Amino acid sequence: MDTKRRQNPNGTPKKQILSAQIDLKKFSASDFIPATEDEKRQQDVMSESTTFFRDGMRKLFKNPLAVASLIVLAAIILTIIIAPMVVPYSYEEILSVNGKRDKGAKNLAPFTYSEAEQRYIDAGGERFPHIFGTDEQCRDYFIRVIYGTRISLVVGFFASIIVLIIGMLYGSISGYLGGKVDLIMMRIVDIIYSLPDMLIIILLSVVLQERLHFPSGTLLARLGTSMVSLFIVFGLLYWVGMARLIRGQILSIKENEYILAARSIGANPGRIIRKHILPNCLSVIIISTALQIPSAIFTESFLSFCGIGVKAPMPSLGSLANNARAGLQSYPYKLVFPALIICLIVLSLNLLGDGLRDAFDPKLKR
């Protein structure tokens, strides 16, 4: 009964004396103007729910260079996954016809066959074409480039993950604790910066070659001690740049009010770093990791080119380019193929890193 007394005849609540509620009885239908289409669209935009990652990805896909880089990388990754299932040759297989070694299949040009293969085809047999020709040891060059690309990409991604984990942990602890702890930790970083990475890789590869003996047939045995020493050097030396970037971000973020609020309610430092600080460093982490991958790939290719990379017969793009130097004048295409793949991967990853920086860095206005 009391509820009915507090309502108007049309069912709307009555206006109280000191209430800021609008009295609808004082207005007619002509006093209200319908919203325009622009105002409706503005309301849709204002009410749209989004996240930092979703908003960054939307900006990324508006960048044509970044999208083209993603397409190139996706095409390369799909090729190195599908090609070994289609091509019947192995990266270490010496070509043979009817069970006999084909000595005439040495340094064949792309899409050509040896005399023995041609006779086999004329007799009614089938032979998969040599897309990139063959090398000096009668091995299919296309499948060796495919496996070399696999090795280079795996080295790049794993090295960037190692750098990300060590650099993020070290930089977070140093930046959050500050004071003498930060001073000591940064002096250690300065010392590591002064170490010659190439010399350490060579020394480690020589020492590990005598000390380490991997079980035959395993992936580490096929990669060799030089690649293991490369991973160790990435874990020991190459994380310092990531650590400095994250430390600088944390030094500015930890002075904000929400960090003080988290401390005041009793949150421990590990939770504050994990839940409040690192998510606000996400743009720097994504960009640095994306730009670290081409650097690692280029380092591996350079070391393999110098002869201290993967263990033969396992190929990498750098070792293939190094082997192609001997016949550069007679067979220039052997250098063109691995060099072109290195350029495409490194250029695509660099352009993708720039696109991620433009999309995820809130300080950059487009």
pLDDT per residue over 90-116, tens digit each?
A: 888 888 888 888 888 888 889 999 898
For a pLDDT cut of 70, what percent of the chain falls above it?
Answer: 83
Residue from 240, 255, 345, 269 nearest 300 by CA: 345
Q: What are phi and psi of 274, to 5 degrees?
A: -75, -40
**CA dihedral of 282, 285, 290, 293, whole degrees rounded to 10:** -150
**Could you tell me which residue, 237 or 133, shows the higher pLDDT?**
133
Assign 76 a pLDDT band (cuts: 50, 70, 90).
very high
Decide if pLDDT at 6 tops 70: no
Vertex 351 angle, CA 172 and 76, to 5°: 105
First to last CA, the chain: 61
Percent of the chain's residues with pLDDT above 90: 16
Given this model, what pLDDT does residue 366 score?
A: 47
Report the pLDDT value the prediction gives residue 307, as an integer from 0 to 100: 74
Q: How confident is the model at residue 48 (pLDDT cuts 50, 70, 90)?
A: low
CATH number of the domain located at residue range(s) 64-81+144-360 in this protein: 1.10.3720.10
CA 305, CA 337: separation in Å to the nearest integer?
A: 14
Mean pLDDT of the chain: 81
Q: Which of 208, 206, 236, 204 is nearest to 221 (CA)?
A: 208
- Sequence-distant (≥ 6) Cβ neighbours of residue 253 within 8 angstroms: 259, 277, 280, 281
- For 36, the token pair is 């325009």
Consecutive H or E run containing 239: none
Q: How many CB atoms lie within 10 A of CB 28?
A: 8
What integer is the mean pLDDT of 142-168? 89
Q: Could you tell me where in the chain the CATH 1.10.3720.10 domains are found?
A: 64-81+144-360
- Average of pLDDT values for 134-161? 89
Q: Whose CA is closest to 280, among 172, 190, 186?
A: 172
